[in-house]
Amino acid sequence: MNDPEIKSPLPQGDLSTQVASLQRQVFTLLLVLLVVSATLAAYLRYEDYIYHKDAAAIRPQAMQVINAFSTVTAGINRPALQDFLKQLVAYGQKNPDFAQQVLKKYGFAPPPATNAPAKPAAVAPAAPKK
């Protein structure tokens, strides 16, 4: 079997010129890609630095507040507190004076009484249609 001879339609000089041109292109593209990836890496490094710096800056204060809240809530009897609030609201419904003086100040104003006298219906009869 004979190996088929590959014949280039271009002369040898043109081929080497094209290969050289392609090599230059690959080199240029690699260089561009390198610059882009370096820029991206630098940007991400900057973001990393900023976020860690910000987190470190607020950490002491944030932990102080979080710890204070944890310490305070650890000693809270939530059911007793809920009961107390319910009883206060119920007491306020029975004693409007208390609701006005104390509960309203804290946004616990009881809903308006539902057994209030109904608004009297309009007594004037509708004008007869002519």
Partner 1 sequence: MKSETMNSVLTFVLGVFIVLGAIFAVRAISGQREFRALQFGAAQSQAGLNQLQQLQLLVNDTREYGKLHPSPDITRMLDALQAKPATR
Q: Write the DSSP symbol of residue 106.
A: G
Using CB under 8 A, pick the residue from 16, 21, 23, 25 that binds partner 1. 23
- Residue ranges in 75-102 assigned as alpha helix (H): 78-94, 96-98
Position 98 contacts partner 1 (CB under 8 A)? yes
For residue 43, give both structure tokens: 């940007």
Using CB under 8 A, pick the residue from 15, 18, 21, 31 that binds partner 1. 31
**How far apart (Å, rounded) are the C-alpha atoms in residues 17 and 23?**
10
CB of 93 closer than 8 Å to CB of 100: no
Task: Considering only the C-alpha atoms of the chain, give the largest distance between any 2 of them, rounded to a whole number of Å.
Answer: 118
Considering the complex, state which of residue 15 and residue 38 has its C-beta at the smaller distance from partner 1.
38
Chain residues that interact with partner 1, rule: CB under 8 A:
23, 26-27, 30-31, 33-34, 37-38, 40-41, 44-45, 47-48, 50-52, 54-55, 58-59, 61-63, 65-66, 68-70, 72-73, 75-77, 80-81, 83-84, 87-88, 91, 95, 97-98, 101-102, 105-106, 108
